[in-house]
């Protein structure tokens, strides 16, 4: 399933990068690849949205969703298999989904472009152009670079996957920046939802349905929070960290519970159902932490006001 294509220089370049393989380099690569993975991204964007600056957080989340959705649509179109699946010279040091079948494109996702690279460029780039500090500008270049390099080292992406991922993330962040300034972040997310809906007709991998669910959950969660909550960002140091930590734990807990009803269903018998359920699971988890969860912030604030 899928296709194999690459430039002549890509496999030698990957071999060169992997030639320095050792436990320390693998630990570093795993650390940097974490910046483009699910739970860390939830923590970081949640920190921006729940604790630091709600408007900045919405922009970061919109760029995150755009980076992932656009990347997933391209993946579902080109169906490029991961390099280690077809080239024995490339080692799979750490699979995209370590607990799943490493040779299954449905389980591991396709290769082009690198979603980790696109979302790291979109997220840290959005922080950089909005915060406009030296440290944020440095991070906007350093983090995506090392995230992309880590994906090549781990054997899960060709160099051109990473280059394309950076391009997709950069396009997403500028779309959010310019469209968001004129029409608002929610219009950006509506556009992303409309464009992303095309993937239901041809994308056949888990990654797309997870991503679209996150986008749908973010958008509906923003609407809920705006209408029913309207929380304020925290001014207490302990709350800065507690809000995103609890948000991640809540997401993980709800997601684990929602997995239980389908854990024994075979993907060969009900693949379309599992794709749809996966989208629903991610949408519901994301909606809860972006919407109803924020009631807790106001409740805690009211509690401290009364006790003082």
User: What letter does residue 3 receive in the DSSP assignment?
Assistant: B
> Which residues are 80's β-sheet partners?
3
Tell me phi and psi for residue 203, to 5 degrees: -75, 130
For the chain, give the mean pLDDT. Answer: 88
Q: Which runs of consecutive H residues, i.e. helices, occur in 94-198?
A: 105-108, 115-131, 134-153, 159-183, 185-196
pLDDT category, 308, cuts 50, 70, 90? low
Give 273's contacts (C-beta < 8 A, 6+ positions apart). 265
User: What letter does residue 82 receive in the DSSP assignment?
Assistant: P
The pLDDT of residue 45 is: 86
Cβ-contact 267, 274 below 8 angstroms: yes
Q: What percent of the chain has pLDDT over 90?
A: 48
Dihedral of alpha carbons 67, 72, 75, 77, sign: negative
Kindly tell me if the per-residue pLDDT of 258 is higher than 90.
Answer: yes
User: What letter does residue 96 receive in the DSSP assignment?
Assistant: S
The pLDDT of residue 307 is: 62
Kindly tell me if the per-residue pLDDT of 131 is higher than 60.
Answer: yes
Average pLDDT value for residue range 257-282: 84
* More confident site: 94 or 269: 94
pTM: 0.88
- Say what the alpha-carbon torsion angle 249, 252, 257, 258 is, to the nearest 10 degrees: 140
pLDDT category, 46, cuts 50, 70, 90? confident
């Amino acid at each position: 399933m899928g296709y194999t294509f690459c430039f002549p220089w890509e496999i030698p370049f990957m071999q060169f990068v992997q030639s320095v393989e050792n436990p320390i380099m693998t630990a570093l690569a795993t650390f940097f690849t974490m910046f483009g993975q699910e739970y860390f991204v939830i923590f970081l964007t949640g920190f921006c949205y729940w604790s630091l600056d709600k408007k900045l957080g919405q922009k970061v989340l919109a760029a995150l969703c755009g980076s992932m959705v656009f990347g997933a649509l391209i993946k579902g179109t080109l169906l490029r298999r991961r390099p280690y699946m077809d080239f024995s010279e490339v080692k799979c040091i750490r699979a995209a989904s370590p607990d799943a079948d490493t040779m299954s494109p449905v389980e591991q996702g396709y290769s082009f472009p690198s979603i980790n690279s696109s979302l790291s460029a979109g997220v840290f780039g959005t922080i950089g152009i909005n915060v406009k500090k030296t440290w944020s500008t440095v991070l906007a270049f350093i983090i995506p670079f090392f995230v992309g390099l880590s994906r090549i080292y781990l054997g899960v992406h060709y160099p051109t996957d990473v280059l394309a991922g950076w391009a997709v993330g950069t396009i997403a962040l500028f779309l959010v920046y310019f469209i968001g300034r004129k029409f608002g972040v929610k219009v950006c997310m509506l556009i992303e939802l409309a464009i992303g809906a095309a993937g239901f007709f041809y994308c056949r991998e888990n990654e797309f349905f997870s991503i679209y669910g996150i986008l749908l959950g973010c958008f509906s969660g923003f609407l809920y929070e705006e209408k029913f909550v309207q929380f304020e960002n925290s001014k207490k140091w302990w709350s800065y960290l507690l809000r995103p930590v609890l948000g991640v734990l809540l997401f993980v807990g709800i997601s684990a519970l929602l997995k239980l009803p389908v854990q024994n269903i075979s993907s060969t018998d009900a693949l379309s159902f599992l794709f749809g359920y996966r989208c629903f699971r991610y949408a519901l988890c994301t909606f809860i932490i972006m919407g109803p969860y924020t009631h807790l912030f106001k409740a805690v604030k009211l509690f401290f006001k009364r006790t003082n």
